[in-house]
Structure 1
Amino acid sequence: MKKYILLLFILFPFISKSQSISGTVFSNDENGKQPLPGVNVVWEGTSEGTASKPDGSFKLKKKSDQHMLVFSFVGYESQTVHVHDEDPIEVVLQPNLEIEEVTVIKKNRGTYLSVINPIQTESISGAELHKAACCNLAESFETNPSVDVSYSDAVTGAKQIKLLGLDGTYSQLQVENIPNLRGLATTFGLTYIPGPWLESIQVSKGAASVLNGYESIAGQINAELKKPDSNEKLFLNVYGNNEGRYEFNGNTNIKVIGDTLTTGVFVHASNLSKENDHNHDGFLDSPLSETFEVANRWKYNNHKGGMAQAGITLLRDDRMGGQVGADRDMTPSLANPYGVNIVNNRVDAFFKSGIVSQDNHRAVAILTNFARHETESYYGLTTYDADETRFYGSVVYTQDLDEAAIHVLNSGASFIYDDFNEKLYDQDVQRTEKVPGLFTEYTFKPNDNLTLMAGVRADFHNIFGNFVTPRMHFRYHFADHFTFRTSAGKGYRTANVISENSYMLANSRPISWTEDVMQEEAWNYGVAFVQNYMLLDRELTINTEFFRTDFQSKLVLDRETSSEYILLLPSTETAYANSLQFDVRWQPIERLDMLLAYRVNNIKETIGGELMKAPLASDYKGLINLNYTTNLKKWMFDYTIQFNGGGRIPYVYEEWMNTADMSADFAEFSPYTIMNAQITKYFRYWNIYLGVENLTDFTQSNPIDGADDPFGDSFSATNIWGPTMGRKIYLGLRFNLNYD
């Protein structure tokens, strides 16, 4: 208690009693709902006001007799809003169709760092998603400096992300703030959310809020889908590339009862039936695939503080990889080509509702999710089948402890039910998790410059017993240009030992595990410093951040100490990840956005009793992204360069010791560079885009070991550190029609 009193005493000189109002302004035009910069925000009848920032946010002082805010911007209808409290407000401006010519003052960068959120968060808007094809969530991070995307192996087409240098399993994936895409969905889940369905993405680093659970260790990725009550009446997207991949996406919103009851229908279909083997190793560069997905969402809003949403998504994903000539109807045998066939069927449903009191000081929210996932697959001669039934539910009560909302308390309860069944090597692996939990989080925000958030949750696991998860975040904005953040927190994660590593079955060595399920535990510490300046009358943002993750227990994927097995072992030995990142965002000339970023990774874990660099992890990553838009946004040009550092290739100790060359140089891969570019032409209701990925046609040489004898002892398709696909040229068209 003395420590908390001392902390408040230290912070007291920075506390101000000044009152202000803040919010965000959006546009609603042919590109959908987007943050709108440069909007004039003025108190009615005065000249006191401000202009919205590049992310659409604004804040200004409020006197006791000021209640009416006027929002105006060239080309949009002005709007007057009554302000009755200090809660952040959201304003959507509609285009003024009577104006023939509009002058764009500032363009939307598409991605920005929040200086308001106490958690280090990067927001990716729809404008950023237009910079690349973004066929699915996994491909939405090509221009992002924080998230790395790569293939997990050379035959299944599974993509994995890395945040803070750690595999995506250590980042909590959410869909509209509900934990999702875990368990059997871990391997391919990032491809289950079509990019055209996305409204925005939020990437937060380090310990997340305890409200969302205990599983976030490295960070959190939240995908916001398009809402049924948005102004988008019809959206269509078609895509094709030179590798034979074709996609269709469509969604429509229907106003059943005006703005009170709305529904949205979403459709996705993709197909890759062309056999590609550019390196002539006898294996497909990417698997043949057929995917179909349909979703229906409903939203009810009584515009009096009550809201409810519900939806269901059906998915079927069928992949066929392996040697050229392998097909879905063949029987796995030595007489047939080596094949990898994976069929996933998934049903996902959600319901959430909330109600806010009339005085806006209390609120209750209910969030639930149900998923049923079935997998049937074989890798060569090995069969792996699994099914999972999962339910998540939580209730959150929010209470302002005072009229000015300086002290806010969020409390609630959650429950997880997860029934898991797997069959591998004729072994039946079954488990059922039941995890009720309680949580509370206190937020202290005396003014717009300071936020202290501290939370704790207790969970009661039927397998791992009881455990406590504490987390803390602190934000301080000072001198108008600087924002400082620090965070610390603990995270736990249920490691699904087999399903999360099922891609390792594309290997001549079988998987060996000692525990069917285990709990991983880690601490995460972070510090970030954001600086905002005006350089040549344009905003310059400089971000510096450092995060460290210390594991107390970890599942180690050991492919090095045994020449007979791939080992999956629980470990309490030393393992950690350090991530240091610098990035600069600026507009050197009008309508040209520039992003420069550089990140250094230091990731180590104990393998076979020796602390060493984690295998297949790049030592660094550099990124240059340039985006230029012509006047009135008729054309858009994007160019991205990724500089990927070298790293360590895993090697079997016994084989290495028997080599004549005792140096480990052969077990390192070299740095490499990837370039992507895209041109987009905009029309009133549609746009057409032409792009190229991997412009220099760089690929990892010999991605598959023992490709000439896939049923032999030296076969492995899992030592992937670089691209397995060469230059890819694509063409797409988007059509968008909004309600008047």
Structure 2
Amino acid sequence: MKDLILLALSCLTVQVSLASEKPVKGTVRGNDNGKMTPLPGVNVYWLNTTVGTITNENGNFAISSLNDRQQLVFSFVGYRNDTVEVAPGKLLDVVLQSDIELDEVVVAQKNKGMYASKLTPFQTININSAELCKAACCNLAESFVTNPSVDVAYPDAVTGARQIQMLGLAGVYSQLQTENIPNLRGIATGYGLAFVPGPWMESIQVSKGAASVVNGYESMTGQVNVEYRKPSDPEWLFLNAYAADDQKYEFNAFVSAPVNDRWATAALMHGRYLGQDIDHNHDGFRDEPLVKQVNLMNRWDRKGDNGSITRLGVQYLSEVRNGGQISGVANPYRVDVNNDRVNAFLKKGHVFANANQTSVALIANVTGHRLRSAYGLNRYDGDELNLYTNLMYSSNMGGSDRHHLSAGLNYSFVAMDETLNLLALNTRQHIPGAYAEYTFKPSERFTAMAGMRADHHNHFGAFVTPRVHLRYSPIEHWVLRGSAGKGYRHPSVWAENGHLLASGRELRVVDDRIFENAWNYGISSAYSLHLGSREVEINVEYFRTDFIDQMVTDMESSASQILVSRLDGRSYANSYQVDVRFETLPRLDVTAAIRFNDVKQTLNGQLVDKPLNSRYKGLLTLNYSDRLKKWMFDVNTQLVGGGRIPQIPGVPDVYAVPERYDAYTLLNAQATHFFRGGSIYVGCENITDFTQKHPVTGFDSPFDSYFDATRVWGPVMGRMFYMGVRFALNKE
């Protein structure tokens, strides 16, 4: 394993950044009746692009230069937008005028903490750090509390793991990326979302439906990309400390420094500790496992001559989870999960100084992961080495952006050695591939993108991945989109079903040579209207996913086994969503959304609702800031629809559970006070203290065949109070 990691590290090469000049820096202040106040959270982006950032607590910002862009847009709720011409090497001092002082208000498109881009052919939601600060957001799994498009699911009642869902389907069908590199796959599937600390994140991009072919063939329902803090950020120091009443403590730090005129470096640190036994329902099992996590990253950036840039970094993570029965019980049922992970990346790219804005890049990433876990008498261990490389070419054609071509070659290697009790599974995957993606943009109103991949898997042979995206704007402020595409994935059967080991039944894999593939289709309409100085955004969308082949987990056919097999029949998911974002009163932003899911699969020859999947979700979020931007208040509530609970045949009445669970409501709130250089926040999660009453069936006999901690459909943890502080020092 070590030799393979060293060999892969020696092969590493890199990615591209389209920024070749020094970043543009400046300060944004607000003019309120002659009083000048630094503005945190101002959206700063290049005109007619989605490339942007936000100001920090002191109103400072830094944004990468774009060779073909000279105008920056500044937008902030309660202030008039401003567009500024950028002069090379000049430090910007931008003053936004309060809306209240203006007799005539000119409203431009506003980029808020969370917004749907109207410029791209993809249905993409951008979440920046301003939105992430509206909740605790300790890690990636907790970063979608205010997002109507992504759900968080609880796979079991003993490990504390969380997984996301998109378009009504499990998160494994959405490709997870860190800085456009596929990540958190394979052995990391169960716990990977907790490996991305919230304060490390600069922004998140959520794309729904068929994604671009550039980064692979695995996306079926969408992509989630995370951008980390970088050495070019305006802060040289950022600190975050967090504490909750369940004795959970977290600490995060970001430190950056220039080494010389070309090199800059940054270190990111995260520590998490939860050491208190919590058992609200008195069943003898911890509601949340004891957790210790250390997460470290060091990254370097180098800016070369003539438009070249190099980025490299390494990340190390160690996490220990101890769940199950509380200490003191004779022969306790224990759940122990240990993760050790090393990740390294090296990126290099070059932007040519020509009319076509041609660029080439090489991205490489290597990951080594070691998992050791025990669920009562069941033991699952895994070792994984993952190597990913992508050689990319991008260029306009004919000297304009009407025609654009992206093409490339990539190669993936995956080595997994797994043991489940007395069984062993060793797999080696070699997957070379090539792709091309053509974009036709005859005007600002219409964009068509068509992509095709051709890959070869050493176990499943050659296959192609076609995808197409259309964008049309019939009138100003109205955008229609359509997409269609295919996706494939080879599931890590044991790793993805590891949570099912928290059961008295045997996990039996009938077929482990499954190559899942599905078609995804989607249409959407995004419309913006202005009511005086306020903007209202209305989004309506529909997506359908049709599986041709799928891994199916059957929890209902046998009293002694959980069966994992190949789909025999139909399986599909329909997702309908309507969401509205608007400002009701000055500085009071509201998001309201409703989504319906129709998800069915064939079990034992019958087409049934997918179990433990909620039929609908409603979301209402309120965000209010005071006039001086010293205080911010956030409230969000979710209405989670009911669903079907899998039924186990032959179970005694004492262990029987209802066939369905009812709808329930979750309520969260947070207050933030900003001060010079930072902020302090306090909040409460699950204010109504709603929990699933009996998430562990047979808790009094955990080694019996009727024991089951896998039929979880709601929160296991009750009400939780927390507080935290953020502090930053700027470079200038």
Q: TM-score range by the shorter chain?
A: 0.7 to 0.9
Q: Structure 1 residue 535: deviation in Å?
A: 1.5
Contact 1:450 1:477 in 2 (8 A): yes
Deviation at 1:737, TM superposition (A): 1.1
The equivalent position to 1:308 in structure 2, one of 307, 310, 319, is 310
92 and 194 in structure 1: CA distance in 2 versus 1, 3 angstrom threshold: farther
1-side partners of 2:93 and 2:175: how far apart?
38
RMSD of equivalent CA atoms: 2.9
Alpha-carbon deviations, 1:246-298, whole Å to 9, x = none?
A: 0000011111124x311110000010001001110000000001000110011
Taking structure 1 as the reference length, the TM-score comes to: 0.87
Q: 1:337 to 1:31 in 2, by over 3 A?
A: farther
Q: 1:717 aligned to 2:702?
A: no
| Structure 1 pair 244–71 and aligned structure 2 pair: CA distance change class (3 A) | closer
Task: Pick one of 163, 176, 183 that aligns with 2:179.
Answer: 176
2:10 matched residue in structure 1: none
Equivalent position of 1:415 in the other structure: 411
Match of 1:436 in 2: 432
Aligned pair in 2 of structure 1 residues 630, 424: CA closer, same or farther (>3 Å)?
A: same
Q: Would the aligned equivalents of 2:355 and 2:399 in 1 still touch at CA under 8 Å?
A: no
CA contact (8 A) 1:605 1:611 kept: yes
Contact residue 475 and residue 485 of structure 1 kept, 8 A: yes
Give 1:714's aligned amino acid: Y
1:36/1:25 CA distance change after superposition, 3 Å? farther
Question: 1:149 touches 1:159 (CA, 8 Å); kept in 2?
Answer: yes
Distance in 1 between residues matched to 2:625 and 2:51, nearest whole Å:
19
Q: Which runs of 5+ in 1 are unaligned?
A: 1-23, 42-49, 57-65, 84-90, 327-333
Is residue 2:117 matched to residue 1:114? Answer: yes
CA deviations 1:125-149 (Å, max 9, x no partner) are: 1100010000001100001000001
> C-alpha distance in 2, partners of 1:177/1:639?
32
8 Å CA contact retained: 2:418, 2:425? yes
Deviation, 1:78, is 9.3
In 2, the alpha carbon distance for the partners of 1:72 and 1:513 equals: 55
Superposed displacement of residue 79, structure 1 = 5.6
Aligned twin of 1:299: 301
Alignment of 1:148-547 (within 5 A): 148-258=151-261, 260-302=262-304, 304-325=306-327, 336-359=331-354, 361=356, 362-547=358-543
CA contact (8 A) 2:44 2:72 kept: no
Tell me by how many angstroms 1:76 deviates. Answer: 12
> Residues 131-190 of structure 1: CA distance to partner in whole angstroms, max 9, x if unpaired?
000000110000100000122110001101000010000000000111111001110100
Distance 1:709 1:449, change over 3 A: same
The within-5 A match list for 1:586-605 is 586-605=582-601
TM-fit CA distance, 1:597: 0.2
2:683 partner amino acid = G
Q: Is the 8 A contact 2:647 2:657 kept in 1?
A: no
% identity of equivalent residues? 45
Structure 1 residue 571: deviation in Å?
Answer: 1.4
TM-score, normalised to structure 2, is: 0.88
Give the AA of the match of 1:36: V
In the TM superposition, what whole-angstrom CA distance separates every residue of 1:643-699 from its partner, at most 9, and x where no partner exists?
A: 0000000002445xx989xxx993000000000000000001010000000000000
Q: Mean Cα displacement is larger for which, 167-176 or 66-75?
A: 66-75
Q: Which moved more, 1:509-518 or 1:617-626?
A: 509-518
Instruction: Give the Cα separation in 1 of the matches to 2:461 and 2:72.
Output: 56
Code of the aligned partner of 1:168: G
Distance 1:585 1:561, change over 3 A: same
Query: Counterpart in 2 of 1:35?
Result: 43
Q: 1:705 aligns with which of 691, 697, 700?
A: 697
CA gap of 1:506–1:587, structure 2 versus 1, over 3 A, is: same
1:104 to partner: Cα distance: 7.4
The whole-number CA distance in structure 2 between the counterparts of 1:185 and 1:52 is 31
Q: Is the 8 A contact 1:286 1:725 kept in 2?
A: yes
- Would the alpha carbon gap of residues 698 and 25 (structure 1) be closer, same or farther in structure 2, given more than 3 Å must change? farther
Give deviations 1:476-503, integer Å, cap 9, x for gaps: 1121121000000000011111001101
Question: What amino acid does structure 2 have at the position aligned with 1:340?
Answer: V
Query: Are the equivalent residues in 2 in contact too, given 1:441–1:453 (CA < 8 A)?
Result: yes
Aligned match of 1:18: none
Counterpart of 1:569 in structure 2 is 565
Task: Return the offset for 1:36.
Answer: 3.5
User: How many pairs does the alignment contain?
Assistant: 675
Q: Kindly indicate whether the alpha-carbon contact (under 8 Å) linking 2:341 and 2:370 is maintained by their aligned counterparts in 1.
A: yes
Distance in 1, matches of 2:569 and 2:531, equals 48
The 3 A distance-change label for structure 1 pair 111 and 381 is: same
1:295/1:76 CA distance change after superposition, 3 Å: farther
State the match for 2:59 in structure 1: none
After TM superposition, give the deviation of residue 25 of structure 1 in Å: 10
Secondary structure at 1:378's aligned position in 2?
strand
**Cα distance change, pair 423–586 in 1 and its aligned pair in 2 (3 A):** same
Match of residue 607, structure 1, among 595, 603, 606:
603
Does the 8 Å CA contact 2:218/2:489 hold for their aligned counterparts? Answer: yes
Find the aligned partners of 1:564 and 1:434 in 2 and give their Cα distance.
36
Q: For 1:211-236, what per-residue CA distance to the aligned partner results, in whole angstroms no more than 9, with x for missing partners?
A: 01000001000001111111111000
CA contact (8 A) 1:26 1:36 kept: no
Determine if contact 2:324/2:335 at 8 Å carries over to the other structure. yes
- 2:684 alignment counterpart: 692
